[in-house]
Amino acid sequence: MQAAAPKKRKRTSTTAPKAAPPEHDDDTQNLLPPAPTSTKRKRVSKKAKELDTTAFRIPRVQSPWKVGAHVSARGGVENAVLNAAAIGANAFALFLKSQRKWEGPPLSSSSIRLFKERMKEYGYDPKHVLPHGNYLINLGNPDAAKRAKSYECFLDDLRRCEALGLKYYNFHPGSTVGNTTPEESIQDIADSLNAAHKETEGIVTVLENMAGAGNVIGSTFAQPSSHSWRTRRASACASIRAMRTL
């Protein structure tokens, strides 16, 4: 007689059963914010970004002392006027093109028109606007080819000042780059300034003082006032730097 097959035992689960969600009103899980969902941001072009001119809440101080800041000209030089007005500045500085590129797109007729219109609208006098020069410019470079490249960039900035109806242009004098004497470098800068003044009309070039690092020109009061400059329409600007005294 054949033996009966043993009965299979039922497996019992070792995992605890899932707890049913509590039905109490004070369940803290219900207070947690929903899991964040990843949404792609739409890229907005620079031209599409518009400044909110209604945000100008800082009153401008009426004073013979003109105080301001170097403001952004992103999206067009005309926006620099709005950015200055937004912080209550009664003077401002700006870059006329990218400060780290030799060339930049020309100023459009609409940018020039809007810049002048906003200057009048917000009561800015052109003599209270100080454009800052390109960081790549070195009119004191003893290498003639490199100095010529700096000169073209420098002259382009001056012509932008003319187009915008501005009066002043501030720049770093230059550097010997360790390959010439300060006297020879100053003479090269002076020659470049005189040439640029002949090619432009009415723009006063402002030489900014420097802190004296490396081979830079303009770290003492004696250098900007040196008779070697022999320039027309040039001025000296003492910025907030630790200029070495004589």
In which band, very low, low, confident or very high, does the pLDDT at 233 lie, cut at 50, 70 and 90?
A: low
Please give the single-letter amino acid code of residue 191.
Answer: D
Taking the C-alpha atoms of residue 52 and residue 37, their distance in angstroms, rounded to an integer, is: 29
Q: Which two tokens stand for residue 81?
A: 């006027």
- Give the domain ranges of the chain: 61-237
Confidence (pLDDT) at 64: 85
CA distance 149 to 231: 20
Cβ atoms 76, 97 nearer than 8 A: no
Residue 180 — left, alpha, or beta (φ > 0 → left; ψ -120 to 50 → alpha)?
beta
E strand or H helix at 238: none
- What whole-number distance in Å separates Cα of residue 197 and Cα of residue 201? 7
Q: What is the pLDDT of residue 59?
A: 74
Q: Could you tell me how far CA 171 lies from the centroid of its own chain?
A: 14
Tally of CA atoms within 13 A in the half-sphere of 217 that contains its CB: 33
Instruction: Check residue 242 and give its pLDDT.
Output: 37
pLDDT band at 39 (very low <50, low <70, confident <90, very high): low
Look over the chain and give the mean of its residue pLDDT values, rounded to a whole number: 79
Highest mean pLDDT among 98-102, 208-212, 240-244: 98-102
Dihedral over Cα of 85, 88, 92, 94: its sign: negative
Task: State the pLDDT at residue 42.
Answer: 59
Distance CA 126, CA 165 (A): 7
Whole-number Å distance between alpha carbons of 203 and 187: 20
For residue 7, count CB atoms less than 10 angstroms from its CB and return exposed for 0-12, middle for 13-18, buried for 19 or more. exposed
Our CA angle for 26, 29, 35, nearest 5°, is 145
Q: Is the pLDDT reported for residue 174 higher than 60?
A: yes
Q: What is the mean pLDDT of residues 163-183?
A: 93
DSSP letters, 42-86, are: PP--TTT----GGG--SPPP--SS--EEE---TT-THHHHHHHHH
- 82-95 tens-digit pLDDT: 999 999 999 999 99
Q: What is the pLDDT of residue 116?
A: 98
> Which pTM does this prediction carry?
0.71
> Where does residue 236 fall: left (phi above 0), alpha (psi -120 to 50 degrees), or beta otherwise?
beta
pLDDT at 34 over 70: no
Q: Measured between alpha carbons, how far is 189 from 29 in angstroms, rounded to an integer? A: 72
Q: Report d(CA 191, CA 214) in Å as an integer.
A: 23
Is the pLDDT reported for residue 121 higher than 70? yes
Interval 128-140: pLDDT, tens: 999 999 999 999 9
> CB atoms < 10 A from the CB of 183, how many?
12
CATH topology of domain 61-237: TIM Barrel (3.20.20)
Structure-block tokens of residue 91: 């003077």
